[in-house]
A and B are shown apart, each in its own frame.
Chain A
Amino acid sequence: MSQRIETKDLNIYYGSFRAVADVTMSIEPRSVTALIGPSGCGKSTFLRTLNRMHEVIPGGRVEGTVAIDGVDLYGPDVDPVAVRRQVGMVFQRPNPFPTMSIAENVLAGVRLNNRRISKSDAADLVERSLRGANLWKEVKDRLDRPGSGLSGGQQQRLCIARAIAVEPQVLLMDEPCSALDPISTLAIEDLIADLKSRYTIIIVTHNMQQAARVSDRTGFFNLEEAGEPGRLVEIDDTSTIFSAPREQATEDYISGRFG
């Protein structure tokens, strides 16, 4: 179900500004990959090219290839909408639809993919997805209440439930815990560990302990100076990156000697 992701010589632009340069990386199925690096180095930008969300921004474009299981996402007859149904995304700020109830939020993506779904199937799917996101117990009595009434951590788990309800192959997370308190953060980290058995997960994080805790592999992005494009400095097993990185820049960043 989950598949390998490969990018090759990926250059990412905002209009004429090259934000990210020459990223070549390979991501194994059913693994957690953490992307770390100083802010502005292009982690979010890179992540958004993996589900073609980058091109939603006016002027956003990409050179190079991103392939999932050998299929180039940017091939001429690939529909970005189809790509986004395969590659789910969780954003930095929790963004459940405020006009929908908790249950409707979970079903939002499914209703797009497959409009007809019986009431009992829908109820099953809501329960399964919310259980998958470790949220079921907390919300099972108020499924028809607005999702915006939940706490930040619960909202973020609701967004994860919404993303996994469509059973994507890949789950992208852009600093999913940066707006959350430590307890909620822990809940999400536990969840990531559970989800790993089914999905390929790529998570951007500012928090190096978090990267060390949740990921199998870690990629370090860096920015030589402002105005220059960000680059992937190295990517390796998380234990290697945090104990014996190949590059001095990685070592400096991890030990806090950065900048």
Chain B
Amino acid sequence: MTTSVSAPAALASAKRRTGRGLDRGFRYLAVGSGVLIVAVLASVAVFLLIRAWPALRAGESISSEVGWIPAGSSVLSVIGPLVFGTVLAAIVALVIAVPVAVGIALFISHYAPRRIANALGYMVDLLAAIPSVVYGLWGVMVLAPMLHPIFQWMVKWLGWIPLFAGDSAGNASNPPRVLMTAALVLAVMILPIITAVCREVFLTTPPLHEEAALALGATRWEMIRMAVLPYGRSGIISAAMLGLGRALGETMAVLMVLSPGLAYSFKLLVASQQQTIAANIAAKFNDATEMGVSALIATGLALFVITMAVNMVARGIVARRKDFSGAN
């Protein structure tokens, strides 16, 4: 009698104990990975800071040692315009790419017949396989000549908007090695990743919600606005942030397309106004002195900080409406 009661009890407690061991193992693994990631991030930051320190400390005297820093400027005073150029190029690219990507993704997920959808999805994915040097070449040799008349038109009719202002003679630069061209190339480059993520997100909209909208008498577009886009909102933001991350760090295409400058200038259609951090590092790294390398690393530190900030802002946006995300 007693054995028949105690045997299962012993079994149950034994099972619970091994379960607990596994539990603890997973907890250590999870905590360990978390610590590791923080450690890697911190060590990158510390490395950048240590190597950047000489340039940061040198103040304005650095301009005599490092050729690309204008006379009388410190590293900090050139980081400003570089950060500005980097963020401007990435944001313009994003503004162009996100609506197009969302449109293509919606077409693939909700409008196109399956065969066309698959072919189109495949083609967009192929865009991701093109090396960025090729994008750079294409930007300079194919896209830029086509764009000049359009830019000229924009300066003429939209020039009152500061973004589209012309140069002192009221012209768009020719050849258009301008930020707008670079941003367009960047937009094409980040299109595949944004489209792919959006497409996956849209395809996972629960049919339940789509049918709820349709049964209320929504047209297909209204259904998309009611059910698909709100449901995919955080996914679209994540996709955009992935694209932004790529655009911020992209080097070759910008290096090849953009004629650099170090101004805080919103002029997208005029050459020699802005430069991005990544392209500047690539352009100056080869023949940099020790102090030059330190200055470039200081700019790299700034890029690191921006990228972190972008990710944190994105997380904030996603978290803010968590109650309404459909995840509960």
Contacts and interface: CB of A to CB of B under 8 A. Distances in A.
Interface of A: 51, 53, 56, 81-82, 84-85, 88-89, 91, 93, 95-101, 108-109, 112-113, 145-146, 148-149, 159, 162-163, 166
A224 B188 CA distance: 58
Given A51-B215, A53-B215, A89-B215, 8 more contacts: A84-B216, A88-B215, A97-B212, A98-B328, A108-B226, A112-B216, A146-B324, A162-B216
Nearest to A92: B208
Interface size class, chain B: 20 to 34
B209 A91 contact: no
B17 to A, nearest CB: 37
A145 B323 CA distance: 8
Nearest to A86: B217
Interface string B222-237: 1000110011010000
B167 interface: no
Contacts of B214: 53, 56, 84
Contacts of B23: none
Contacts of A108: 213, 216, 226
| Residue among A53, A97, A99, A112 having the largest count of chain B Cβ atoms under 10 Å | A99
Contact of A56 (B211, B233, B326): B211
B118 interface: no
B208 A85 contact: no
Contacts of A56: 211, 214
Interface in B192-224: 206, 208-209, 211-219, 222
B211 A97 contact: no
B77 interface: no
B114 to A, nearest CB: 8
Instruction: Describe B's contact surface by its main secondary structure.
Output: helix
A159 B216 contact: no
A112 B217 contact: yes
B325 interface: yes
B147 to A, nearest CB: 39
A56 B216 CA distance: 13
B323 to A, nearest CB: 5
B231 A95 contact: no
A128 B273 CA distance: 61
25 contacts: A53-B215, A56-B211, A84-B218, A85-B217, A89-B215, A91-B208, A91-B211, A95-B206, A95-B209, A95-B212, A97-B227, A98-B324, A98-B328, A99-B231, A99-B326, A108-B216, A113-B217, A149-B323, A149-B328, A159-B212, A162-B212, A162-B216, A163-B215, A163-B216, A166-B216
Nearest to B214: A56
B230 A99 contact: yes
3 shortest interchain CB distances as A-B pairs: A98-B326, A85-B217, A99-B230
A219 to B, nearest CB: 21
A112 B218 contact: yes
A53 B208 CA distance: 12
Contacts of B227: 97
Nearest to B210: A56
